[in-house]
Structure 1
Amino acid sequence: MLRAGQVFTGDQDRPWVSAVALRGDRIAAVGTDNELAALVGPRTEVVELHGRTVLPGLHDAHVHPLGAGREQQGCPLSDAKSVDDILARVRACAAARPGDGWIVGRGWDLSLFPQANPHKRLLDDAVPARPVYLEGADGHSGWLNSAGLARAGITKDTPNPAQGVIERDADGAPSGTVREAAAALVEDLLPEPSLDDDVRALRWAVEQLHRAGITSIMDAGVDERRLEAYRRLADDGSLRLRGVACVVVEPVDAAAAVAKARALRARFTDLPLRPSCAKIFLDGVLEGETAALLEPYLDRPGHTGALNATQGQLDQTVTLLEADGFAVHMHVIGDAAVRAALDAYRAATLANGKPGRHRTLAHLQLVHPDDMRRFAELGVAVNAQSLWAYPDSYIRDVNLPQVGQERVDRMYPWGSLVRAGASVVGGSDWPVTTVDPLEAVEVMVRRQDPALEEGPMLGKGEGLPLETALRAYTSEAARLLGHEQEIGVLRAGARADLVVLDRALAADRPTELSEAEPWLTYFDGAVVFRAAVPNGAPGPPR
């Protein structure tokens, strides 16, 4: 029994109560302390909440756990705050891994470099003799030193691959940055982690998800190796997560996309994270000017980026995937990509005679106002990465010169989409940004830097009420995963997935939302995370 708290049930009719009772892996009852008092017996474990907030187990509807674990095991750069800091870490990684093999890292901040385009000379000075490859925080850019370019065979004469960009100096020589498909010229040469390495990385990532209060996920990009790692954790009982896994497919070949997704679904159908979803990357990112826009980039007249498939190819791929029962999850950054994705969903609805289930578009940095209403009409969930939705250095220093103030003011339009009838779900894109959902909830509400009490706001009127933001990480996300009968709302008979925070959340104190931390995380009624406390301080019950 958890009592004397602020329990957000997520139920539209009774969203807040003070107590919740668990029996085994299920919720026995929710209500006031008085209503549930009769359930307390001599063997009942009672947790006195002292006003703390309880939420349904949180969902992350767009996350890459193995990617985060691999970053942690490699040369992590995501919290480096300066170019000098990045280079110092790369030197340290090279010193810790003697030999002549690749130095591989991830997470450098694109906004630290002019035009998000770091030069090979910087890495040459740090590590001159060994090849270095560093993936950017956006997951769409890579940075090499001269030795790395030479090892990959990228020269002045190497053409840009389809849907890829090799950034170049004035004389045509590669400058050190590669985008999108050009990164594959390097990534195919990098040492592959062993399955044991990946299992360790994934186990660490699951622990971090529990620490953040997350009990359900949509893994937004799996392949055979990732599913093998999930199976190993499921077999040894440490995969205490539920959700959906999305198999990455190429939209240019519909038959091949369906065959790949179908084969992995059949092989891993028994996983708690069933691969019943297909993931399509439809465009790139604004920082590399590979996002597909309806109007040109301001600093490259006539350039609008490009889609990774023709409209006909995309229509056919989505139609066949949905006809085979797959949810279709698409990466879309630019407004042209958003429109093409919505057009493909419409084409699939017409061809199949009904809309597909669990449709979602992720990121949505730019959405044309004419397309807002189409999300609800087509049953498409807005998959919001809200930690991007405030005017940070990416937006101020990189995006603003690219697209101008008018388009910046329209970025990540969650409020407009909700007013147009859309469902919004929350996802982190971890390790691109922190996995902390409460920090994202604050930005979803305030649209300001969560580290500051005051500051500039992105998009007037685009913030969401606190309860709407909480539902994005609970009941709305559960509906997207197809688990709404079991999780996402605290009610009698539902699975006992929930998180107890270390304080009370309050809509009138939005700047404190990101300060809250999980105190206890329950999965199927068992504690999977318990906060550590200083010696002598009262902590979570054992």
Structure 2
Amino acid sequence: MSRTAELIITQANIHTMDAHCPRAEAIAIRDGRILAVGSNRDIEALANSGTRRIDAQGRLLLPGLQDTHVHFQLSSADMYHSADLYEAQTLDELLSTIRDFAKANPNKLWVRGVGFSTSRFTPEQLTKEALDNVTDGRPALMFANDYHNGWANSAAFAAAGVHPGSPEPENGSYLRLADGTPKGWLIEDAIWAMGRIAPSYTDDDFLEAMAHYSKVFNSRGITGVLDAMVSRNYMKNYQASFERADLTLRVRATSKVFAHKPLAEQLNDLIDLRRTYQGDRVSLHSAKFFLDGTLENGTAVLLQPRSDNGGNAELMFTQEQINEYFAAFDRERFQLHVHSIADGAVRAAIDGIEYARKHNGTWDARHQLAHLQVVEPSDIPRMRELGILGNFQTLWAQPIPDTDRIADAMLGPARTPWIYPIGECIRQGVTCMLSSDWGVTSFDPFQIIQCAVTRQDPTAGEHGPVHTPQHRISVEDAISGYTINAAHAAWRDDCTGSLSVGKYADLIIVDRDLFSISPYDIGQTQVLLTLLEGQEVHRHQQFGG
């Protein structure tokens, strides 16, 4: 291998996230990989007249960030092709946004929207009739910001055959009036059942949206994602986008397993998907399970009944199914990626993973639990002992009055101290990642890092209210959650996640030293340069290095 660098970056404040060589001044790159890391003098010695040079001007240089729980393809299309409802604060604003979108897009067969708040709007407000009034007779389907609730109009229900006496979908429901007529609100898999009736996005729609959002993600320092729920067609689109040179992200993926479908059929399908897509840039490695829903719509599963009304939800798989399905996918060496909101679902997932290990033996599985909104403290050491990773969306670990009122009432004072307990997980040795769950909420990694460190609203400053401050984490742990730990979770720490010799040159330069500034300034960080395999995929207009 030639020792002459194609590109060198000098005068940098490098945090490599490699414990064997944690700090450096400069880095050399050749053939898309890291040739050397060291002092300015050592790296300059690897350059010649043909070497490209970047002067980092003393800025912080980090490995590229990786978001290990994101719905990248679906959310790209939803954001690019649907009404954006995230900012609507009142019913009038919500309806006005949908009306304007419908008028601006008269040729769309269905009117789509995404992002309304389930803690701000209620089923009593979001009736089918209210949506009828702003969608000019066309079927309409709106996704909530959590993607666990939805809202449809009369034409959509008619198209889907939902009427008094019609069956409810598996793991979902249509809220109904006393006579069985649908009200307008949809829960869990009822949304996806309705979505299958609506015309789907075309492949060109997906490709156009992904090309746009790949660059947007790059501009915030993200070079890799783990798509948390893909289909066969999604994988085909990812590969096509990569081959067109439009996909400037690494994509690892997980595909959803259903309780009502035969195990053998689903297992064989995922084996085939994994065999088909196993490149460094596009690959599938994981089986996705939803064990519960959300606290806000009452579908989260608790170990003990709710404090407000004594109720509880049911697991979306029985424990026997969990054990059987987990063991089968673990035996075939799939990572398990488990949606587990409340402590009942967390316990069921841990029990299932323990069952799989007893039957299949120990291997480097890196099974992960996503969300972990409420965890029973005794389950944290079990996660460590079983090598289970914790995948946290720490943007949600700030005070959010609308949702906090719901959670506090449901959980009561004994359980609320264990909301999003990433701090205690890290202290007890659980490997944890930070991620976004975009498009549920923003994918901005610096806002998410700031929330992880402060547990406060990034816009409120240091004197704002704090959510469960005992679970704050350090800047170092937060950045690890986006770099080396994220690469570990995505099964690509052999080639990414740290700035180590031989790994891909996926890296970023930012405008401030995250390790020394006030944590309340982290969210304002600007990315000056992003490289993927040594190639620029983003350069800030003000960076002249």
TM-score range, shorter chain: over 0.9
After TM superposition, the score normalised by the length of structure 1 is 0.93
Displacement of 1:361 in angstroms is 0.7
| 1:132 equivalent among 118, 140, 145 | 140
Q: Does 1:348 align with 2:359?
A: no
Q: Residue deviations 1:111-163, cap 9 Å, x none?
A: 22147973334323323522211011101111112333333332343454332
Displacement of 1:387 in angstroms is 1.0
Counterpart for residue 155 of structure 1: 163
Q: Is the 8 A contact 2:329 2:336 kept in 1?
A: yes
Size of the aligned set, in residue pairs, is 535
SS of corresponding position for 1:445: helix
Q: 1:194 to 1:100 in 2, by over 3 A?
A: closer
Aligned pairs for 1:417-436 (under 5 A) are: 417-436=425-444
- Please give the alpha-carbon distance, in whole angstroms, between the structure 1 residues aligned to 2:353 and 2:343: 15
Counterpart for residue 496 of structure 1: 505
- Please give the alpha-carbon distance, in whole angstroms, between the structure 1 residues aligned to 2:415 and 2:106: 47
Q: Does 1:416 align with 2:424?
A: yes
- Please give the alpha-carbon distance, in whole angstroms, between the structure 2 residues aligned to 1:169 and 1:507: 57
Counterpart for residue 257 of structure 1: 266
Counterpart for residue 485 of structure 2: 476
Counterpart for residue 23 of structure 2: 16
Q: Residue deviations 1:178-233, cap 9 Å, x none?
A: 10122234112100122122211222222222122111221111111101101111
- Please give the alpha-carbon distance, in whole angstroms, between the structure 2 residues aligned to 1:356 and 1:254: 23
Q: Is the 8 A contact 2:123 2:184 kept in 1?
A: no
SS of corresponding position for 1:468: helix
- Please give the alpha-carbon distance, in whole angstroms, between the structure 1 residues aligned to 2:470 and 2:124: 29
SS of corresponding position for 2:143: strand
- Please give the alpha-carbon distance, in whole angstroms, between the structure 2 residues aligned to 1:236 and 1:512: 38
Counterpart for residue 536 of structure 1: none
SS of corresponding position for 1:461: helix
- Please give the alpha-carbon distance, in whole angstroms, between the structure 2 residues aligned to 1:117 and 1:384: 31
Counterpart for residue 98 of structure 2: 90
Q: Does 1:393 align with 2:401?
A: yes
Q: 1:16 to 1:170 in 2, by over 3 A?
A: farther
- Please give the alpha-carbon distance, in whole angstroms, between the structure 2 residues aligned to 1:116 and 1:366: 28
- Please give the alpha-carbon distance, in whole angstroms, between the structure 2 residues aligned to 1:74 and 1:136: 12
Q: Which runs of 4+ in 1 moved over 6 A?
A: none
Bigger CA drift: 507-516 or 520-529?
A: 507-516
Q: Is the 8 A contact 1:164 1:182 kept in 2?
A: yes
SS of corresponding position for 2:286: strand
- Please give the alpha-carbon distance, in whole angstroms, between the structure 2 residues aligned to 1:499 and 1:318: 37
Displacement of 1:424 in angstroms is 0.5
- Please give the alpha-carbon distance, in whole angstroms, between the structure 1 residues aligned to 2:470 and 2:294: 25
Q: 1:5 to 1:356 in 2, by over 3 A?
A: closer
Q: Is the 8 A contact 1:213 1:521 kept in 2?
A: yes
| 2:458 equivalent among 425, 450, 469 | 450
Aligned pairs for 1:214-363 (under 5 A) are: 214-252=222-260, 253-270=262-279, 272-301=281-310, 303-355=311-363, 357-363=365-371
Displacement of 1:255 in angstroms is 1.8
| 1:31 equivalent among 28, 38, 57 | 38
Q: Is the 8 A contact 1:254 1:313 kept in 2?
A: no
SS of corresponding position for 1:46: strand
Alpha-carbon RMSD across the aligned residues, in angstroms, is: 2.2
Q: Is the 8 A contact 1:80 1:108 kept in 2?
A: yes
Q: 1:376 to 1:310 in 2, by over 3 A?
A: same
- Please give the alpha-carbon distance, in whole angstroms, between the structure 2 residues aligned to 1:116 and 1:328: 37
Q: 1:288 to 1:319 in 2, by over 3 A?
A: same
Aligned pairs for 1:187-206 (under 5 A) are: 187-206=195-214
Q: Does 1:64 align with 2:71?
A: yes
Which residue identity lines up with residue 108 of structure 1 in the other structure?
A: F
Counterpart for residue 389 of structure 2: 381
Counterpart for residue 4 of structure 2: none
Q: Does 1:7 align with 2:24?
A: no
SS of corresponding position for 1:513: helix
SS of corresponding position for 1:307: coil
SS of corresponding position for 2:415: helix
Is there any run of 5+ residues in structure 2 with no aligned partner, and where?
1-7
Displacement of 1:493 in angstroms is 2.2
Which residue identity lines up with residue 382 of structure 2 in the other structure?
A: R
- Please give the alpha-carbon distance, in whole angstroms, between the structure 1 residues aligned to 2:246 and 2:137: 41
Counterpart for residue 48 of structure 1: 55
Give % identity.
Answer: 33
Displacement of 1:7 in angstroms is 1.3
Q: Residue deviations 1:49-81, cap 9 Å, x none?
A: 233211101111111111122112222223334
Q: 1:502 to 1:148 in 2, by over 3 A?
A: same
Q: Residue deviations 1:359-409, cap 9 Å, x none?
A: 111111011011011111111110111111111134324323333344333
Displacement of 1:97 in angstroms is 2.4
Which residue identity lines up with residue 293 of structure 1 in the other structure?
A: L
Q: Is the 8 A contact 2:454 2:469 kept in 1?
A: no
SS of corresponding position for 1:107: strand
Counterpart for residue 186 of structure 2: 178
Counterpart for residue 468 of structure 2: 459
SS of corresponding position for 2:528: strand
Q: Is the 8 A contact 1:355 1:378 kept in 2?
A: no
Q: 1:397 to 1:122 in 2, by over 3 A?
A: farther
- Please give the alpha-carbon distance, in whole angstroms, between the structure 2 residues aligned to 1:112 and 1:177: 14
Q: Is the 8 A contact 1:348 1:355 kept in 2?
A: no
| 1:211 equivalent among 203, 219, 238 | 219
Is there any run of 5+ residues in structure 1 with no aligned partner, and where?
534-538
SS of corresponding position for 1:91: helix
- Please give the alpha-carbon distance, in whole angstroms, between the structure 2 residues aligned to 1:408 and 1:101: 45
Displacement of 1:270 in angstroms is 4.3
- Please give the alpha-carbon distance, in whole angstroms, between the structure 1 residues aligned to 2:26 and 2:44: 9
Displacement of 1:271 in angstroms is 6.7
Displacement of 1:13 in angstroms is 4.3
Q: Is the 8 A contact 2:248 2:532 kept in 1?
A: yes
Bigger CA drift: 317-326 or 22-31?
A: 22-31
Bigger CA drift: 248-257 or 446-455?
A: 248-257
Which residue identity lines up with residue 263 of structure 1 in the other structure?
A: D
- Please give the alpha-carbon distance, in whole angstroms, between the structure 2 residues aligned to 1:515 and 1:136: 27
SS of corresponding position for 2:93: helix
Counterpart for residue 3 of structure 2: none
